[in-house]
Each structure stands twice: as C-alpha cells, then as structure tokens.
C-alpha cells in the first residue's frame, strides 16, 4: 500500500483520464499512417500470443488473490499490464506498416467475391460481432483497469474490489477475444 497525497492523486486521475482519451485517438490516427518497405507480417502471431499470455496472467492473478497471496497477485497484474502495453505497441506498429485484412478475402483482392461470401457465410457475422466488441471493450478497459489499479495502489481495496468486478472480466474478454480474432483472420493474411 502506498500513501498518496491529494495533489498527486488528482494528477494521477487526470493522467488516467487523459490516457483513456489519448490512446484510442492516437491508435486511430496511427492506423491511417502507412510506412512502406518494412515487413512486420510476423507480428500478429506474436501479439496474439501476448494476448493469450495476458489472459493466463489475469487468471493466475485471480487464483493468487483467491488464495490470499497479495504479493503474487500484484506481480501477476503488473506483468499483465506490461504485456498489454507491449501488445498495444506491436499492434500499432503492425497496422502502421500493413493494410487491414478483410475477413474471408482468400484471394487477397481487398474485397469479397460471391464465392468468398458463400464460403464464410454466417461466420462473418460472428467474426465482426466479436471484432467490434473486442475493439469497443479494448477502449473501455483502459480507464477501468487503470482506475482499478490506482485504487489498489492507494490501498482502497473496497473500491478496488468493486471496480474489479467490471474491469477483470472485460480485460479477460479483450485478451481472449483478441486471440480468437487472430485465429479467425490469420488464414486471410496475404
């Protein structure tokens, strides 16, 4: 538990709110930046693996706190936070280099012909529902996780526990759905 003076606490809250706004905007802007001549086609498998590891660390952190091992819980959450930051950096780097891949575009044309549409059928609805929920919740999880972490850092475990009820399942969903999205889209990478 760390004691934080009120000015530092107010600045930390402002920083969390700023990051929660700036990160999604920066990601959206950087998606439009395209840098040529670099091959980062290996990154999606890596950042999907990072998402999988994040999920493992989150579940392990839950088990640790259920077993009243606060030190292990704290360490595992810090690793999960670090992995999430690395994921974000690699994800943005990949999308600054590569065009987005269209689900079902097996010939790499950038659009779906009638045969490709028929082949993916209703799976496209599942894929895009999963993808959209993953993206929207990845935006929402930023302030949820950071405030949840802040409350623990302050030693306000009542608020920490209340916020964890929302932040943990959303963070876990974002991590797991990221892996599923990768496995669904990876056959269509050019």
> Could you tell me if residue 1 is inside a domain?
no
The count of domains in the chain is 1
Residue 161 structure tokens: 């526990």
Per-residue model confidence as pLDDT tens digits over 3-51? 567 888 899 999 999 999 999 999 999 888 888 889 999 999 999 999 9
The average pLDDT across 79-88 equals 97
Which residue range(s) make up the domain with 20? 6-188
Q: What is the pLDDT of residues 45-54, one digit of tens each?
A: 999 999 999 9
Instruction: Dump pLDDT digits (tens) for 178-189.
Output: 999 999 999 998
Instruction: Reduce the secondary structure of 38-83 to three states and give it as a string.
Output: CCCCCHHHHHHHHHHHHHHHHHHHHHHHHCCCHHHHHHHHHHHHHH
| pLDDT at residue 53, as a whole number | 98
Instruction: Note whether residue 146 is domain-resident.
Output: yes
Does some domain include residue 139? yes
| Residue 79 in domain | yes
């Amino acid at each position: 538990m760390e004691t934080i003076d009120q000015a530092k606490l107010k600045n930390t809250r402002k920083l969390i709110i700023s990051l929660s706004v700036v990160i999604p905007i920066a990601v959206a802007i950087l998606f439009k930046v395209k840098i040529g001549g670099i091959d980062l086609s290996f990154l999606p498998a890596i950042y999907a693996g990072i998402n999988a590891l994040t999920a493992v660390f989150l579940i392990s952190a839950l088990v640790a706190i259920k077993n009243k091992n606060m030190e292990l819980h704290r360490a595992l959450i810090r690793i999960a936070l670090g992995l999430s930051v690395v994921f974000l950096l690699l994800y943005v780097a990949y999308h600054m280099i590569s065009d987005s891949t269209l689900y079902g575009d097996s010939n790499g044309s950038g659009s779906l012909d009638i045969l490709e549409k028929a082949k993916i059928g209703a799976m496209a609805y599942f894929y895009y529902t999963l993808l959209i929920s993953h993206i929207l919740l990845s935006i929402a999880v930023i302030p949820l996780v950071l405030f949840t972490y802040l409350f623990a850092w302050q030693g306000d475990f009542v608020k920490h526990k209340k916020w964890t009820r929302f932040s943990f399942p959303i963070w876990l969903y974002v991590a797991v759905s990221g892996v599923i999205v990768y496995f669904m889209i990876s056959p269509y990478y050019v």
